[in-house]
Amino acid sequence: MAGGMLKRRRPAPAAVLELHAHGQLPGMSGLRAVAHPMLASIFVVQGLETFRHPERVAKAAAPVVGPIAQRVPAVPAETEHAVRLNGAVQVVAGATLGFGILPRLSALVLAGTLVPTTLAGHRYWEIEDPEQRAQQRVHFLKNVTMLGGLLIAAADTGGSPSLAWRRKKASRAANRHLGDLQEAVSGSVHAASDQIAAAGTATAGQLSVLTDVLGETAQLAGGHLAELKQALAESARTAGDQLPAAARGVADSVREATQAAAGGAADLTRAVADRVSNASDAALSAGRRVAQAT
Protein backbone atom coordinates (compact mmCIF):
# COMPACT_ATOMS: atom_id res chain seq x y z
CA MET A 1 0.00 0.00 0.00
CA ALA A 2 2.84 2.32 0.85
CA GLY A 3 4.27 1.76 -2.58
CA GLY A 4 0.93 2.64 -4.13
CA MET A 5 0.91 5.99 -2.34
CA LEU A 6 4.21 7.00 -3.87
CA LYS A 7 3.90 9.41 -6.77
CA ARG A 8 5.24 8.26 -10.04
CA ARG A 9 7.64 10.48 -11.89
CA ARG A 10 6.23 12.00 -15.02
CA PRO A 11 8.22 11.26 -18.15
CA ALA A 12 10.13 14.22 -19.52
CA PRO A 13 8.47 15.86 -22.52
CA ALA A 14 9.80 14.76 -25.88
CA ALA A 15 10.76 18.33 -26.79
CA VAL A 16 12.89 18.72 -23.64
CA LEU A 17 14.56 15.40 -24.24
CA GLU A 18 15.27 16.37 -27.83
CA LEU A 19 16.74 19.73 -26.82
CA HIS A 20 18.89 18.16 -24.12
CA ALA A 21 19.99 15.51 -26.60
CA HIS A 22 21.27 18.28 -28.87
CA GLY A 23 23.14 19.92 -26.01
CA GLN A 24 21.02 23.08 -25.53
CA LEU A 25 18.34 24.27 -23.14
CA PRO A 26 14.89 25.60 -24.06
CA GLY A 27 14.93 29.23 -25.16
CA MET A 28 18.58 29.25 -26.30
CA SER A 29 17.64 30.21 -29.88
CA GLY A 30 15.79 33.33 -28.68
CA LEU A 31 18.66 34.20 -26.35
CA ARG A 32 21.12 34.05 -29.23
CA ALA A 33 18.85 36.24 -31.36
CA VAL A 34 19.11 38.95 -28.69
CA ALA A 35 22.69 38.45 -27.53
CA HIS A 36 24.37 38.49 -30.94
CA PRO A 37 23.14 42.00 -31.93
CA MET A 38 24.03 43.31 -28.46
CA LEU A 39 27.55 41.92 -28.76
CA ALA A 40 27.98 43.20 -32.32
CA SER A 41 26.62 46.73 -31.81
CA ILE A 42 29.79 48.29 -30.43
CA PHE A 43 31.89 46.87 -33.27
CA VAL A 44 29.57 48.27 -35.94
CA VAL A 45 29.50 51.75 -34.36
CA GLN A 46 33.15 51.94 -33.37
CA GLY A 47 34.35 50.32 -36.61
CA LEU A 48 32.39 52.83 -38.69
CA GLU A 49 33.87 55.71 -36.68
CA THR A 50 37.39 54.36 -37.12
CA PHE A 51 36.84 53.86 -40.84
CA ARG A 52 35.72 57.50 -41.24
CA HIS A 53 38.41 59.06 -39.03
CA PRO A 54 41.46 56.78 -38.92
CA GLU A 55 43.76 59.65 -37.96
CA ARG A 56 42.27 59.74 -34.45
CA VAL A 57 43.77 56.39 -33.53
CA ALA A 58 46.60 56.15 -36.07
CA LYS A 59 49.22 57.56 -33.71
CA ALA A 60 48.35 55.14 -30.93
CA ALA A 61 48.13 52.19 -33.35
CA ALA A 62 51.52 52.79 -35.03
CA PRO A 63 53.57 50.65 -32.56
CA VAL A 64 51.24 47.70 -33.18
CA VAL A 65 50.61 48.09 -36.93
CA GLY A 66 54.31 48.09 -37.88
CA PRO A 67 55.23 44.61 -36.51
CA ILE A 68 51.95 43.11 -37.78
CA ALA A 69 52.48 44.53 -41.28
CA GLN A 70 55.96 43.00 -41.38
CA ARG A 71 54.59 39.52 -40.59
CA VAL A 72 51.23 39.65 -42.44
CA PRO A 73 51.46 40.75 -46.11
CA ALA A 74 47.71 41.55 -46.24
CA VAL A 75 48.05 44.33 -43.65
CA PRO A 76 48.97 47.72 -45.20
CA ALA A 77 52.26 49.25 -44.10
CA GLU A 78 50.71 52.69 -43.62
CA THR A 79 49.07 53.01 -40.23
CA GLU A 80 45.98 54.93 -41.38
CA HIS A 81 45.22 52.39 -44.10
CA ALA A 82 45.64 49.52 -41.64
CA VAL A 83 43.35 51.24 -39.11
CA ARG A 84 40.72 51.91 -41.79
CA LEU A 85 40.89 48.28 -42.94
CA ASN A 86 40.45 47.08 -39.35
CA GLY A 87 37.38 49.35 -38.94
CA ALA A 88 35.83 48.08 -42.19
CA VAL A 89 36.31 44.47 -41.13
CA GLN A 90 34.67 45.22 -37.77
CA VAL A 91 31.66 46.82 -39.46
CA VAL A 92 31.13 43.89 -41.83
CA ALA A 93 31.74 41.16 -39.24
CA GLY A 94 29.60 42.97 -36.67
CA ALA A 95 26.71 43.27 -39.13
CA THR A 96 26.84 39.58 -40.08
CA LEU A 97 27.00 38.59 -36.40
CA GLY A 98 24.04 40.83 -35.55
CA PHE A 99 21.92 39.37 -38.36
CA GLY A 100 22.95 35.79 -37.54
CA ILE A 101 24.86 35.25 -40.80
CA LEU A 102 27.79 32.92 -40.16
CA PRO A 103 27.79 33.89 -36.47
CA ARG A 104 30.71 31.69 -35.43
CA LEU A 105 32.99 32.94 -38.20
CA SER A 106 31.89 36.54 -37.63
CA ALA A 107 32.64 36.29 -33.91
CA LEU A 108 36.04 34.79 -34.62
CA VAL A 109 36.89 37.62 -37.06
CA LEU A 110 35.82 40.25 -34.52
CA ALA A 111 37.98 38.61 -31.88
CA GLY A 112 40.92 38.80 -34.27
CA THR A 113 40.38 42.53 -34.87
CA LEU A 114 39.84 43.25 -31.17
CA VAL A 115 43.30 42.07 -30.11
CA PRO A 116 45.35 44.68 -32.02
CA THR A 117 42.74 47.33 -31.23
CA THR A 118 43.11 46.67 -27.51
CA LEU A 119 46.88 46.55 -27.60
CA ALA A 120 47.04 49.77 -29.63
CA GLY A 121 44.42 51.89 -27.84
CA HIS A 122 44.56 50.80 -24.22
CA ARG A 123 48.23 50.36 -23.22
CA TYR A 124 47.55 51.42 -19.67
CA TRP A 125 50.87 50.15 -18.37
CA GLU A 126 52.66 52.88 -20.29
CA ILE A 127 50.59 55.73 -18.76
CA GLU A 128 52.03 57.48 -15.73
CA ASP A 129 48.96 59.53 -14.70
CA PRO A 130 47.06 57.38 -12.15
CA GLU A 131 43.61 58.61 -13.20
CA GLN A 132 44.18 58.04 -16.94
CA ARG A 133 45.92 54.76 -16.19
CA ALA A 134 42.90 53.53 -14.23
CA GLN A 135 40.56 54.67 -17.00
CA GLN A 136 42.56 52.86 -19.69
CA ARG A 137 42.72 49.77 -17.50
CA VAL A 138 38.92 49.73 -17.42
CA HIS A 139 38.78 49.99 -21.21
CA PHE A 140 41.40 47.24 -21.51
CA LEU A 141 39.44 44.90 -19.23
CA LYS A 142 36.21 45.80 -21.07
CA ASN A 143 37.81 44.69 -24.34
CA VAL A 144 39.08 41.53 -22.68
CA THR A 145 35.53 40.84 -21.52
CA MET A 146 34.18 41.35 -25.03
CA LEU A 147 36.93 39.08 -26.33
CA GLY A 148 35.73 36.35 -23.98
CA GLY A 149 32.16 36.80 -25.21
CA LEU A 150 33.31 36.63 -28.82
CA LEU A 151 35.24 33.44 -28.17
CA ILE A 152 32.16 31.88 -26.56
CA ALA A 153 30.06 32.95 -29.57
CA ALA A 154 32.69 31.50 -31.92
CA ALA A 155 32.58 28.18 -30.06
CA ASP A 156 28.77 28.08 -29.85
CA THR A 157 27.46 25.45 -32.27
CA GLY A 158 23.82 26.46 -31.81
CA GLY A 159 22.91 23.06 -30.45
CA SER A 160 24.47 21.27 -33.41
CA PRO A 161 27.38 18.90 -32.93
CA SER A 162 30.79 20.54 -33.19
CA LEU A 163 33.29 19.72 -35.88
CA ALA A 164 35.46 17.87 -33.37
CA TRP A 165 32.49 15.76 -32.28
CA ARG A 166 31.51 15.08 -35.88
CA ARG A 167 35.08 14.17 -36.73
CA LYS A 168 35.29 11.82 -33.75
CA LYS A 169 31.93 10.26 -34.65
CA ALA A 170 32.98 9.87 -38.27
CA SER A 171 36.25 8.32 -37.12
CA ARG A 172 34.39 5.87 -34.89
CA ALA A 173 31.95 5.03 -37.68
CA ALA A 174 34.86 4.57 -40.07
CA ASN A 175 36.64 2.33 -37.57
CA ARG A 176 33.45 0.35 -37.03
CA HIS A 177 32.90 -0.06 -40.76
CA LEU A 178 36.56 -0.94 -41.16
CA GLY A 179 36.20 -3.60 -38.46
CA ASP A 180 33.10 -4.99 -40.16
CA LEU A 181 34.94 -4.96 -43.48
CA GLN A 182 37.91 -6.73 -41.94
CA GLU A 183 35.61 -9.35 -40.41
CA ALA A 184 33.84 -9.80 -43.76
CA VAL A 185 37.16 -10.10 -45.59
CA SER A 186 38.47 -12.50 -42.95
CA GLY A 187 35.33 -14.61 -43.25
CA SER A 188 35.61 -14.59 -47.03
CA VAL A 189 39.27 -15.59 -46.80
CA HIS A 190 38.46 -18.43 -44.40
CA ALA A 191 35.61 -19.59 -46.63
CA ALA A 192 37.84 -19.40 -49.70
CA SER A 193 40.57 -21.31 -47.82
CA ASP A 194 38.06 -23.99 -46.84
CA GLN A 195 36.82 -24.23 -50.43
CA ILE A 196 40.38 -24.42 -51.74
CA ALA A 197 41.23 -27.11 -49.19
CA ALA A 198 38.08 -29.05 -50.11
CA ALA A 199 38.86 -28.67 -53.81
CA GLY A 200 42.43 -29.80 -53.17
CA THR A 201 41.21 -32.83 -51.25
CA ALA A 202 38.73 -33.69 -54.00
CA THR A 203 41.40 -33.22 -56.66
CA ALA A 204 43.81 -35.40 -54.73
CA GLY A 205 41.14 -38.09 -54.48
CA GLN A 206 40.38 -37.83 -58.19
CA LEU A 207 44.10 -38.01 -59.01
CA SER A 208 44.43 -41.08 -56.81
CA VAL A 209 41.50 -42.75 -58.59
CA LEU A 210 42.95 -41.77 -61.96
CA THR A 211 46.32 -43.17 -60.96
CA ASP A 212 44.70 -46.45 -59.95
CA VAL A 213 42.78 -46.58 -63.23
CA LEU A 214 45.92 -45.89 -65.21
CA GLY A 215 47.78 -48.55 -63.28
CA GLU A 216 45.05 -51.08 -63.95
CA THR A 217 44.95 -50.02 -67.61
CA ALA A 218 48.72 -50.43 -67.85
CA GLN A 219 48.50 -53.84 -66.26
CA LEU A 220 45.76 -54.90 -68.67
CA ALA A 221 47.68 -53.47 -71.63
CA GLY A 222 50.79 -55.31 -70.45
CA GLY A 223 48.82 -58.57 -70.29
CA HIS A 224 47.35 -58.00 -73.74
CA LEU A 225 50.80 -57.16 -75.11
CA ALA A 226 52.20 -60.35 -73.65
CA GLU A 227 49.37 -62.33 -75.20
CA LEU A 228 49.95 -60.55 -78.53
CA LYS A 229 53.66 -61.36 -78.36
CA GLN A 230 52.88 -64.99 -77.69
CA ALA A 231 50.39 -65.08 -80.59
CA LEU A 232 52.94 -63.51 -82.92
CA ALA A 233 55.60 -65.94 -81.79
CA GLU A 234 53.27 -68.89 -82.34
CA SER A 235 52.32 -67.51 -85.77
CA ALA A 236 55.99 -67.15 -86.66
CA ARG A 237 56.72 -70.68 -85.53
CA THR A 238 53.72 -71.98 -87.48
CA ALA A 239 54.79 -70.07 -90.55
CA GLY A 240 58.34 -71.38 -90.16
CA ASP A 241 57.03 -74.92 -89.97
CA GLN A 242 54.73 -74.51 -92.98
CA LEU A 243 57.25 -72.65 -95.16
CA PRO A 244 59.48 -75.68 -96.08
CA ALA A 245 56.40 -77.72 -96.99
CA ALA A 246 55.08 -74.87 -99.10
CA ALA A 247 58.49 -74.51 -100.74
CA ARG A 248 58.60 -78.22 -101.53
CA GLY A 249 55.07 -78.07 -102.95
CA VAL A 250 56.01 -75.12 -105.15
CA ALA A 251 59.16 -76.90 -106.32
CA ASP A 252 57.17 -80.02 -107.16
CA SER A 253 54.62 -77.96 -109.06
CA VAL A 254 57.35 -76.23 -111.02
CA ARG A 255 59.06 -79.50 -111.82
CA GLU A 256 55.84 -81.09 -112.95
CA ALA A 257 55.00 -78.06 -115.08
CA THR A 258 58.48 -78.15 -116.57
CA GLN A 259 58.21 -81.81 -117.32
CA ALA A 260 54.76 -81.31 -118.86
CA ALA A 261 56.06 -78.48 -120.96
CA ALA A 262 59.04 -80.53 -122.08
CA GLY A 263 56.82 -83.49 -123.05
CA GLY A 264 54.50 -81.24 -125.00
CA ALA A 265 57.44 -79.66 -126.84
CA ALA A 266 58.81 -83.08 -127.81
CA ASP A 267 55.46 -84.19 -129.14
CA LEU A 268 55.12 -80.99 -131.08
CA THR A 269 58.63 -81.42 -132.52
CA ARG A 270 57.85 -84.95 -133.61
CA ALA A 271 54.58 -83.86 -135.20
CA VAL A 272 56.32 -81.09 -137.11
CA ALA A 273 59.11 -83.49 -138.21
CA ASP A 274 56.51 -85.99 -139.44
CA ARG A 275 54.70 -83.30 -141.39
CA VAL A 276 57.98 -82.08 -142.92
CA SER A 277 58.89 -85.62 -143.86
CA ASN A 278 55.51 -86.21 -145.43
CA ALA A 279 55.78 -82.95 -147.34
CA SER A 280 59.26 -83.99 -148.61
CA ASP A 281 57.93 -87.33 -149.74
CA ALA A 282 55.04 -85.69 -151.55
CA ALA A 283 57.43 -83.29 -153.29
CA LEU A 284 59.71 -86.17 -154.41
CA SER A 285 56.71 -88.06 -155.76
CA ALA A 286 55.58 -84.99 -157.66
CA GLY A 287 59.05 -84.58 -159.11
CA ARG A 288 59.18 -88.12 -160.31
CA ARG A 289 55.78 -87.70 -161.95
CA VAL A 290 56.91 -84.60 -163.68
CA ALA A 291 60.06 -86.32 -164.83
CA GLN A 292 58.20 -89.32 -166.17
CA ALA A 293 55.78 -87.03 -167.98
CA THR A 294 58.57 -85.25 -169.78
Within 10 angstroms of residue 81's Cβ, the number of other Cβ atoms is 15
Instruction: Please state the domain extents for the chain.
Output: 14-160
The length of the chain, given as a count of residues = 294
% the chain with pLDDT above 90? 31
Count Cβ atoms below 10 Å from residue 110 Cβ, excluding itself: 28
Neighbours of 93 (CB within 10 A): 26
pLDDT (0 to 100) of residue 107: 96
Q: Given a cut of 70, is residue 199 above it in pLDDT?
A: yes
What is the per-residue pLDDT across 55-76, written as a single tens digit (0 to 9) for each? 988 888 888 888 888 888 888 8
CA-closest candidate to residue 113, choices 57, 167, 194: 57
Q: In whole angstroms, give the CA distance from residue 97 to residue 107.
A: 7
Q: CA torsion sign, 96 to 99 to 102 to 104? A: positive
**Residue range 122-149, pLDDT digits in tens:** 889 989 999 999 999 999 999 999 999 9
What pTM, to 2 d.p., does this model score?
A: 0.48
